[in-house]
Amino acid sequence: MISQKQIKEIKQIGLKIDHDVSFNGKSKGNNHLQRTVNLASHIAKKVGANLQVVVAAAWLHDTALPTGDDYNYKNNLQIVKDILKDITLSEDDRNAVAECVASHEGTKIPESLEAKVVHDADVLEKVGILGLIRHTWKMTNLKNIDSEKIISDDLKKIIEHIEWRKNMLQLEESKNIAKNLTIEIDNNIILKLIERSAQMANKGVITEKIAVTLKDILNKNQLLILEKQLNQKYLTI
């Protein structure tokens, strides 16, 4: 059993890496980890997964980001196991958390119930409008796209990535949440959204601050869905 004190320590490690180390601190202050923990806890309770394992893994799930490649299962597994060496966990808990972290990007199908929960919580951060902003942010800061010149291939790749991840959702509970977080959006609007996000991401603006500048691009319903995805009030219902 992972104690609350250990969860606290794990949270601090996860936040430190996400805010200060990944992308050289450019994502400092972003709320992705907290939202992922909220989603993962919500889903874990619904499906009866081990809550402590899920929460610990959700805090640590992006610890491979500083390497620039968090899609590599083995790499992720090694990184998180090294991090967990300093925390006294049972062998079972350590392996369970590491497995969730390593398979969160879907490059290996998540097998345990806890891994499915953490994977799906992260995917729910990559669906809909928030997903488009966040993936554009990542691609910009990994220098995979040129923020000043978004080409049709960039648009295609970002849309395909979002679709691929959504199609990988494992649990019915998560699929239902995804339905409520997605809305019809034209490709020309997506292009504008990507251009804005990439330009701001390149200047070191975090996702949440980009999201509040989109009133001239998105319609009222699209803005409401984005707000819902960010404030997560629907999780308490």
Q: Distance between CA atoms of 171 and 43, rounded to whole angstroms?
A: 9
Q: Distance between CA atoms of 100 and 76, rounded to whole angstroms?
A: 10
Report the chain's C-alpha Rg in angstroms: 17
Applying CB under 5 A, the span of 23-31, 58-66, 79-87, 133-141 interacting with Fe ion comes to: 58-66
Q: Between residues 70 and 99, which has the closer beta carbon with respect to Fe ion?
A: 70
Query: Do 62 and 70 touch, CB atoms closer than 8 A?
Result: yes
**Amino acid sitting at position 112:** S
Query: Does the footprint of Fe ion cover residue 122 (CB under 5 A)?
Result: yes
In the block, residue with structure tokens 């006294």: 88
Q: Between residues 164 and 187, which has the closer beta carbon with respect to Fe ion?
A: 164
Query: Does the footprint of Fe ion cover residue 70 (CB under 5 A)?
Result: yes
Residue 79 CB, nearest approach to Fe ion (Å): 12
Query: Does the footprint of Fe ion cover residue 62 (CB under 5 A)?
Result: yes
Q: Between residues 66 and 192, which has the closer beta carbon with respect to Fe ion?
A: 66
Applying CB under 5 A, the span of 43-51, 118-126, 128-136, 148-156 interacting with Fe ion comes to: 118-126
Contacts of 99 (CB under 8 A, 6+ apart): 77, 111, 112, 114, 115
Residue 65 CB, nearest approach to Fe ion (Å): 6
**Amino acid sitting at position 217:** I
Query: Do 84 and 53 touch, CB atoms closer than 8 A?
Result: no
Residue 11, token pair as written in the block: 């949270």
Residue 148 CB, nearest approach to Fe ion (Å): 26
Applying CB under 5 A, the span of 12-20, 74-82, 120-128, 172-180 interacting with Fe ion comes to: 120-128
Q: Give contact residues for Fe ion (rule: CB under 5 A).
A: 62, 70, 122
